[in-house]
Amino acid sequence: MWNSDARVRAAYAEGAGIYRIVPAAVAIPTGVEDLVALVHKAVAAQTPLVPRGAGSGMAGGNVGPGIIVDLSTGFSELSIDPQHRTARAGASVTWAQIDAAARPYGLRLPPDPSSGLFATSGGMVSTNAAGPRTVRYGSVRRWVEAVQVVEADGTVRTVARGAGSGERFALTTDDRQRITARFPKTRKNSSGYGLDKFAETGDEVDLFIGAEGTLGFVTAVRWRLDTIPPDIAGAALGFPDLAAMTEAVPYLVSLNPSALELLDSTLLRFVPEAPRVACLLLVEFERDSAAAARGVVGDAVRGLKQAVTHVETAVDRRGLERLWSVRRLASPALARLPPSQRSLQVIEDGCVPLDALGEYVAGVRAAAESAGIPVAIFGHAGDGHVHVNALPDTTRSGWRDALRRLFDDVTDVLLRLEGVPSGEHGVGRLRAGMLERFYGADVMDLFRAVKRAYDPLTILNPGVIIPATGWSPLAALKVGDGAAVIPDDIASRLRDVERNAAWATPKLELTHQTPST
Ligand SMILES: Cc1cc2nc3c(=O)[nH]c(=O)nc-3n(C[C@H](O)[C@H](O)[C@H](O)COP(=O)(O)OP(=O)(O)OC[C@H]3O[C@@H](n4cnc5c(N)ncnc54)[C@H](O)[C@@H]3O)c2cc1C
């Protein structure tokens, strides 16, 4: 039922993100029945289970010392209902597979994670994933109609939107007031249980979305789909400073873009073809006609002509691809960095209110400067949501302390600006211990109450969202001297997976021995 072979355990010791934690064993259930039997056995043995999809999550929710439960293969059913505009997808089905199946009907799943080629339905729901189009269409939460779950005691249930709050957890009037007072007002949030949404809708499904495998296994999802708008146009707009960019963002958001992405100079410097500006905004508009799409690009450019120092426009999909290639060129450039300079995701997902975007980018730049760690900043400007690759030289003495300083300083900046530590990647192990600073002790108590209601024996993903005692976010790193020892060939294949974003690779393939010649 589970495999304790040392090479198999090693292949599951890492996900995307910073950690290497060798699990006790690995299970790959073949379907719901098999998973239920596994849960019963784990409960009897009091062994923690770590739900996992493709392993592309960056916050460390997909690794842990218990038994990794790989749901990336055994739950692959997919059917589209064009009449009702829905898709039923097993937990293993990726965004790209849903998109390919829905497209012939003129339909799509609007939130578009850049990891859509490999991110599974179970993983996307569990992190409340998002993408560039989220500025207009929201995170995946808005598109989940129902989930099938296997709970911590092995019960199998379907939890549907509109079906009420279930029997496990309810909020009092006082709780609701605390939630309203303490939940941040950012446009995106994947930092802890979605109690604000639960309070608003009364839908139990809102607790499972973004729960990061701590409340139950998601085995299937009923997705709502949307029609694909026929026309598209956009622009690349360069700004001389952060203040000008920050002022432009609310104006562009008011024009209802389908994407509004930021490339900061810290990222642009890696792309020789990029314009020399302090920051670049890429904006895309989807409309019902070509004239409407072109018209709104004209409005955007005219409205900002005093603020920008660089303008390029595109009137169709191909032109837009060309404009957006700057963003795509950055990834291979970062992958070519010397092996000693590792891209580590520790402050990679902060989200702030829109009017604080420039201040946040300036704060991250300053914290990086002070820690002596180069960073590359980019992200979803229209949502006030910024990704940061920290690029420490791991051969330099003191790099870990510097990284911790960066982590702490950026947390302080987020607190000051009333932001959240995760806009879409989740809390995982990395951010669990900082949640109380963002929400206060009362809301943290509510998070604990949710966890107790669904998983009273703490079988599911302990240490994720609810912090482990002695939370230590930068321990168990996959880089540096202290990294857990695993076979060299597997370590180097895991590194290749990371460099090439090959998270769809079945992890058992990493264990194959190369025949000696
Ligand atoms: C190159 C790259 C680009 C990325 N771009 C984006 C992006 O644009 N937007 C975005 O939101 N994220 C992005 N991510 C992060 C990641 O792809 C998403 O968080 C994705 O939703 C994770 O899916 P997964 O299948 O890999 O889940 P995993 O990483 O395996 O798991 C993530 C979390 O969900 C839980 N989980 C997984 N499956 C289940 C299940 N079936 N039931 C219960 N719990 C489960 C795990 O326990 C864990 O806590 C990116 C990552 C990479 C490496």
Ligand 1 center from residue 334 Cα (angstroms) = 21
- Sequence-distant (≥ 6) Cβ neighbours of residue 227 within 8 angstroms: 85, 106, 107, 108
Spatial distance between the Cα atoms of 508 and 8, rounded to a whole number of angstroms? 7
Protein residue with its CA nearest to atom 7 in ligand 1:
113
Ligand 1 center from residue 515 Cα (angstroms) = 33
Which atom belonging to ligand 1 lies closest to the Cα atom of 58?
Answer: 15
Ligand 1 center from residue 458 Cα (angstroms) = 21
332: confidence class by pLDDT, cuts 50, 70, 90:
confident
Would you say 152 and 43 are in contact if contact means Cβ atoms under 8 Å apart?
Answer: yes
Spatial distance between the Cα atoms of 135 and 19, rounded to a whole number of angstroms? 30
- Sequence-distant (≥ 6) Cβ neighbours of residue 253 within 8 angstroms: 135, 260, 354, 382
Ligand 1 center from residue 126 Cα (angstroms) = 8
- Sequence-distant (≥ 6) Cβ neighbours of residue 248 within 8 angstroms: 237, 239, 281, 304, 307, 308
Ligand 1 center from residue 213 Cα (angstroms) = 11
Question: Is residue 451 over pLDDT 90?
Answer: yes
Ligand 1 center from residue 72 Cα (angstroms) = 11
Ligand 1 center from residue 315 Cα (angstroms) = 33
Q: What is the edge-to-edge ordering of all strands in the sheet holding 310-314?
A: 310-314, 231-239, 279-287, 259-264, 375-380, 385-390
243: confidence class by pLDDT, cuts 50, 70, 90:
very high
- Residue-wise pLDDT for 353-410, tens only, equals 999 999 999 999 999 999 999 999 999 999 999 999 999 999 999 999 999 999 999 9
224 CB neighbour count, 10 Å cutoff? 17
Question: Is residue 516 over pLDDT 70?
Answer: no
Q: Report pLDDT for 513.
A: 85
DSSP alpha helices (H): ranges in 80-208? 95-102, 121-127, 134-137, 173-182, 195-201, 205-208
For 355, the 3-state DSSP assignment is helix
Token pair 């990294």 in the structure block, residue: 483
Spatial distance between the Cα atoms of 297 and 257, rounded to a whole number of angstroms? 10
79: confidence class by pLDDT, cuts 50, 70, 90:
very high
- Output DSSP code: residue 143: G
- Residue-wise pLDDT for 125-139, tens only, equals 999 999 999 999 999
Ligand 1 center from residue 55 Cα (angstroms) = 6
Protein residue with its CA nearest to atom 2 in ligand 1:
115
Q: Which of 19, 39, 62 to mutate to test the pocket of ligand 1 (most atoms within 8 A of CB)?
A: 62
Q: Name the strand (E) or helix (H) holding 384.
A: none
For 217, the 3-state DSSP assignment is strand
- Residue-wise pLDDT for 188-224, tens only, equals 999 999 999 999 999 999 999 999 999 999 999 999 9
Spatial distance between the Cα atoms of 475 and 277, rounded to a whole number of angstroms? 37
State what percent of residues in the chain have pLDDT above 70: 99
Which atom belonging to ligand 1 lies closest to the Cα atom of 219?
Answer: 41
402 CB neighbour count, 10 Å cutoff? 19
Q: Which of 56, 71, 478 to mutate to test the pocket of ligand 1 (most atoms within 8 A of CB)?
A: 56
Protein residue with its CA nearest to atom 15 in ligand 1:
57
Q: Report pLDDT for 60.
A: 98
Ligand 1 center from residue 15 Cα (angstroms) = 9
Protein residue with its CA nearest to atom 3 in ligand 1:
115
Q: Which of 18, 26, 52 to mutate to test the pocket of ligand 1 (most atoms within 8 A of CB)?
A: 52
Question: Is residue 517 over pLDDT 70?
Answer: no
Predicted TM-score of the model (pTM): 0.97
Question: Is residue 156 over pLDDT 90?
Answer: yes
- Sequence-distant (≥ 6) Cβ neighbours of residue 441 within 8 angstroms: none
Pocket of ligand 1 (CB under 6 A): 15-16, 51-58, 61-62, 71, 91, 113-115, 119-120, 122-124, 126-127, 129-131, 212-213, 217-218, 424-425, 461, 464, 501, 503
Mean pLDDT of all residues belonging to the chain: 96
Protein residue with its CA nearest to atom 21 in ligand 1:
124
Q: Average pLDDT for residues 175-200, to the nearest whole number?
A: 97
Which atom belonging to ligand 1 lies closest to the Cα atom of 114?
Answer: 8
State what percent of residues in the chain have pLDDT above 90: 94
335: confidence class by pLDDT, cuts 50, 70, 90:
confident
Number of residues that this document lists for the chain: 517
Q: Report pLDDT for 337.
A: 85
Q: Which of 115, 137, 424 to mutate to test the pocket of ligand 1 (most atoms within 8 A of CB)?
A: 115
Ligand 1 center from residue 261 Cα (angstroms) = 21
Q: Average pLDDT for residues 327-355, to the nearest whole number?
A: 89
Question: Is residue 249 over pLDDT 60?
Answer: yes
Ligand 1 center from residue 116 Cα (angstroms) = 10
Which atom belonging to ligand 1 lies closest to the Cα atom of 140?
Answer: 11
- Lowest model confidence (mean pLDDT) among 199-213, 264-278, 298-312, 449-463: 264-278
Which atom belonging to ligand 1 lies closest to the Cα atom of 461?
Answer: 47
